[in-house]
Amino acid sequence: MTVQEDYQPIFIGKVQEELQAVLQRYPNKQAALLPALWIAQREQGWISDHIMAEVATVLGLTPAFVKGVVTFYTMYHQHPVGKNFVQVCTTSPCNICGAEDVLKALLQHTGAGDAGATSPDGKWTIVEVECLGACGFATPILVNDDFLENVTADKVPEIMRKYR
């Protein structure tokens, strides 16, 4: 990895203040890692190796340690994603209520093709995830931070219109 000449640090100004407030909640800096990564992802959309290095420096950790943590948790993106990142639950309780049809419909209508891929217009990335904890409201999906419930395949076009 080369040094990124134009790398803009994230943790400056207001964001730095935000992190300082977070640090007050924990007895050491390492415990602020997950919150810091959430802040970084909110600011940049995803977490690159350079960002991992910055977070490591800010919290007194090594880049390798941060990378080990980032790759463990599925909600941290390690590469850029579409404007709308959609997570579809297909674990058994939703699976028997048509979750795979919802997934298929989303892939089809967005043009993303395969789960995990981004649609050609860059607007949609659809991924299959495990139980979202809303099994009685099948099928739940997350569109970025919006948690939608009772989604069925026929409701997909309407959802897409809403998030255009």
Partner 1 sequence: MGGADGLINLTIDGAPVSVPPGTLVIEAAKQAGVLVPHYCYHPGLPVAGVCRMCLVEIEKAPKLQIACATTVTEGMVVKTQSAPAKDARQSVLEFLLINHPLDCPICDQAGECELQDFVFQEGQAKTRYGEFAKRFNPVEDFGPDVLYVPNRCILCTRCVRFMEDVAKEPVLNVSERGDRAFIGIHPEARLDHPWAGNVVDLCPVGSLLSKDFLHKARAWELDKTASICTGCSQGCNITLDTRDEVVVRVRPRPNLDINRYFICDHGRNHYKWMNRGDRIEAPLLRRDGELKAVDWDEAIDRVAGILRGAAGGKAVALVSPGASSEALAAAKQLLSAFTWTGAFQLVMGEEAPLAGVPNLALRAERAPNATGAERLGYTRDYAPALAAAKGAAVVLVLDDPDCAVETDGALIYLGTVLAESAACRRADAILPIANVAEEEGTFVNRDGREQRYYQAKPAPGMAQPAAWVLGQLVTTLGLAEVR
Partner 2 sequence: MGYPHKPHPKETVVLSQHFGDADARTLKGWTKRGGYEALAQVLKMDPVAVTDIVKESGLRGRGGAGFPTGLKWSFMPKEKKKPHYLCVNADESEPGTFKDREIMRWTPHALLEGTAIAAHAIRAEVAYIYIRGEFTEPWTIMERALAEANAAGVFGSIKIHLHRGAGAYICGEETALMNSIEGKRGNPRIKPPFPAAAGLFGLPTTINNVETLTAVPHIITRGAAWYKALCLSNPKSTGTKLFSVCGHVQRPGNYEVTMGFPLKDLIYDMCGGPAAGRTLKACIPGGSSVPILTREETERTLLDYEGCVASGTMLGSGGVIVFDDSADMVYQIMRLARFYAHESCAQCTQCREGTAWTTKIMERILAGQGKPKDLDLLLDLSENMTGKTICVLSDSCAAPIVSGIKKFRGEFEAYLAGKRQPMMVA
- Residues forming contacts to partner 2 in the complex (CB under 8 A) are 25, 27-28, 30-35, 37-38, 59, 61, 68-69, 72-76, 87, 90-93, 95-97, 129-138, 142, 145-147
CB 34 → partner 1: shortest distance, Å? Answer: 15
77: its two tokens: 């993106």
Distance, in Å, from the CA atom of 89 to the CA atom of 131, rounded to the nearest integer, reads 6
CB 52 → partner 1: shortest distance, Å? Answer: 7
Nearer of residues 112 and 134 to partner 2, judged by Cβ: 134
Closest CA relative to residue 103, chosen from 90, 91, 94: 90
C-alpha radius of gyration, the chain, whole number: 18
CB atoms within 10 A of CB 94: 25
Distance, in Å, from the CA atom of 114 to the CA atom of 40, rounded to the nearest integer, reads 27
CB 89 → partner 2: shortest distance, Å? Answer: 9
What distance lies between CA 133 and its chain's CA centroid? 17
Nearer of residues 80 and 157 to partner 2, judged by Cβ: 80
CB 31 → partner 1: shortest distance, Å? Answer: 16
Nearer of residues 39 and 61 to partner 1, judged by Cβ: 61
Reduced to 3 states (helix: H, G, I; strand: E, B; else coil), residue 37 is helix
64 binding partner (options partner 2, partner 1, none; Cβ < 5 to 8 Å by kind): partner 1
Binding site for partner 1 (CB under 8 A): 1, 49, 52-53, 61-68, 71-72
Distance, in Å, from the CA atom of 163 to the CA atom of 125, rounded to the nearest integer, reads 13
